[in-house]
Structure 1
């Protein structure tokens, strides 16, 4: 069982996981800020969803970046910085919100990649 976790959840490098984990903390911060200003207690479902999504976000982002690298290859696009930041933030939000569905794909890939090595 220990090797299963090492091959899946330990499959990303620490700097990569930590960097995307920090980016993933942006969204629960927004959620908790707006939920606390609503004057009602924060539902435990929201807290649980935020914790799971934030923990799985680096793996969802790993899948997204792999798919985009496959589609785009080594091409470079020159676009307006505001448009690029909006697109980046949007993809981050989508990956965070759907991390519970996207991350298992990355975890399975990491397991098989590290099993062959």
Structure 2
């Protein structure tokens, strides 16, 4: 069982997990800013969903990056920086919103990609 946790939850590495976690905290901040005057109307389920999305976002982002790397390979594109940042923000928002559904895919990737001998 310990091997299962190591190969999935510990497979990203602390630095990568924290980096994605910090970027994932952008969206709760935006939600708070949007609902700051209606904070008493927010339900417990909403808080749990936001916390779940934040915790699972790094694994969802990992799954997204693996799929995109598979599709694009080692190619790179020269585009306008503003367009690239906007695209990154949109993909981050999609990954954060769908983290509950995408994270299991990322955890499966990590399970099969992480060395089982460690």
Asked if TM exceeds 0.5, the reply is: yes
1:57: Cα distance to partner?
0.4
Change (3 A) 1:5 1:68: same
Confirm whether residue 15 of structure 1 aligns to residue 15 of structure 2.
yes
| Separation in 1, partners of 2:21, 2:7 | 19
| Separation in 2, partners of 1:94, 1:73 | 22
Map 1:102-117; keep pairs closer than 5 Å.
102-114=102-114, 116-117=116-117
Confirm whether residue 73 of structure 1 aligns to residue 65 of structure 2.
no
Q: What corresponds to 1:93 in structure 2?
A: 93
Count of aligned residue pairs for this structure pair: 117
RMSD over aligned Cα atoms: 1.5
1:34: Cα distance to partner?
1.3
1:41: Cα distance to partner?
3.2
Please report the TM-score for the alignment, with normalisation by the length of structure 2.
0.90
Unaligned runs of 5+ in 2: none
Unaligned runs of 5+ in 1: none
SS at match of 1:4: helix
Q: What corresponds to 1:84 in structure 2?
A: 84
| Separation in 2, partners of 1:46, 1:33 | 15
Please report the TM-score for the alignment, with normalisation by the length of structure 1.
0.91
